[in-house]
Amino acid sequence: MEWRDVQYQGSIYWHRSCRWVYLLDSSNLKDGLQLVWKRASGVQYFLEHHYGYFYILTNSPLGCSQFVAEGYHLARCQAETLRSGEWQNIIQAGQGVEIQDMDIFDGHLVLFLHRGGIPKICSIKMPLEFPLKHPMDIEDLNPWFFPLPSDTSSVVPGSNHDFMDSTFRVVISSPVMPDAVVDYDMLKQDFTIVHQEKVLGIDSFDVNENDTVKARHNWSYISQLYSCERKEVLSLDGVHVPLTILYSKKVEINGKSPGILMGYGAYGEVLEKNWCTDRISLLDRGWVIAFADVRGGGGLGMSWHHDGAGPYKLKSILDFVACGMYLVNEGYINRHRLGAVGFSAGGLLVGAAINLYPDLFCAAILKVPFLDICNTLLNPSLPLTTLDYEEFGDPTIQAQFEMICCYSPYDNIQQGVCYPSMLVTSSFNDSRVGVWEGAKWVARVREETCRSCSSSVVLRTNMEGGHFGEGGRYKHCEETAYEYAFLIKMMSEIA
């Protein structure tokens, strides 16, 4: 990682096998490498420089190398005291808020935040010249929160390479709004929509192009046609799980609609809920699409990931089940027409949920799913095995092996029970999830579950693609069409 401002140039060099992270002042190479922080398991930090100060965003309290799940805070030290490590905590997130990332410019500090699972972004004037005797909440620093659409699902920084610039560019997306490129003027505290994707066949741009003031501030919603609701679902252990529900406004919520529930819940990754034109095909057919931000993912920050990883993995599975039950009980989806979709580690989530409650779902799509977790983690020659010990546990340790066996999809298939119809995809050249995992799951489901259901368990193997399938727009359209056709066929047979 490199950064540059008018007074200082430097670089940070690191490697997975290194134990230390150093800084090199490129304007004075004779000083050699300076230690920033010793590497420690679970500790993360991001470094920036601003006029004689280093700013560090970290999840570890100063002077402590142990992992802390409460989230990030901001600290700083003077450049000349870097060797002594005299860091001072200056900004803490505040109640219900988590800092995700930062960027620093000549006159502003930009913070990416999550509040209740909803992305926020704000700017704070720099430099912070007043005395900071103790950490301050973001709200106490007179921040300007960038105006965002109410259904925003992601805020991604654009190309902001000019340190002296006061305009910050981001790409904003939501389930009901095509991606928009927006410039925020942090001095004037105003914004301009530079570009927004147009949707063929849908007239979402209802602002007169000649009205420049309105045009540059207009969020081109398609919410006139589609609704996006955020709910909190009570999981089986009393924890509230965020659930995003998307449907056409023409659909009446009366317990008759077909629908799918998507989930991932691993590696601290936030479930993808951005705008996707593919979904229009299902939404216009009266389908309901829901996204479950279960524990193990990053929907509510670092502690949310920690609470669904390793020995707590079963919590993420039960969260997914609770969200499925909520959709049925509240009338969003018919109880006989609920499907589930999981990709990669999300396939583990869906597969384990099906084992626990096989009658909850009528159809499922498992895309390059991680299903034979015990055998895979016991084979250290596979590319990601040892790296996955931290996420799922180490099966060479007896207690952790027994814990993994409790939820491993391949090892917990119920005998003689009716399972939902399933489309399982795998890729021959997949270096992350072996092609055999999907094949073994399909073979065992066909062998051990209800015989009359085995014919509706389909295995589709891509002999050329990798973990993310084949490249190209047409191949993506072909795969999506096949998956939607499977779901529509299965739901139609039940109806």
Catalytic residue among 217, 240, 467, 476: 467
Whose CA is closest to 410, among 363, 452, 377, 361? 377
Q: Are 432 and 395 in contact (CB under 8 A)?
A: no
Q: How far apart are CA 439 and CA 454, in angstroms?
A: 13
Helix axes 313-329, 345-356, angle to 10 degrees: 70
Give 3-state DSSP helix, strand, coil % of the chain, rounded to 5. 25, 30, 45
Q: Where are the beta strands (DSSP E) in 93-175?
A: 97-104, 108-115, 118-125, 136-137, 144-145, 154-157, 167-174
Active site residue 456: no
174: number of CA atoms within 13 Å, CB side? 23
User: 284, exposed or middle or buried, with CB in 10 Å at 0-12, 13-18, 19+?
Assistant: middle
Q: How far apart are CA 170 and CA 390, in angstroms?
A: 33
Q: Which residues contact 159 (CB under 8 A, 6 or more apart)?
A: 169
Please tell me what DSSP assigns to residue 66: S
Neighbouring CB atoms inside 10 A of 190's CB total: 13
Q: How far apart are CA 418 and CA 446, in angstroms?
A: 10
**Token pair listed for 286:** 């009266």
Active site residue 217: no
- Residue 147, classed as helix, strand or coil, is coil
- Residue 493, classed as helix, strand or coil, is helix
Q: How far apart are CA 316 and CA 307, in angstroms?
A: 8
Neighbouring CB atoms inside 10 A of 188's CB total: 9
Cβ burial 156-179 (10 Å sphere, 16+ → b, else e): eeeeeeeeebebbbbbbbbbbbbe
Neighbouring CB atoms inside 10 A of 471's CB total: 10
Q: Are 288 and 316 in contact (CB under 8 A)?
A: no
Active site residue 467: yes
Q: Which residues pair with 108 in a beta bridge?
A: 125
Catalytic residue among 173, 227, 344, 427: 344
Whose CA is closest to 271, among 330, 327, 343, 337? 343
Catalytic residue among 293, 427, 430, 456: 430
In degrees to the nearest 10, what's the CA dihedral of 116, 122, 126, 131? -30
Terminal C-alpha separation, the chain: 55
> Which residues belong to the active site?
344, 430, 467
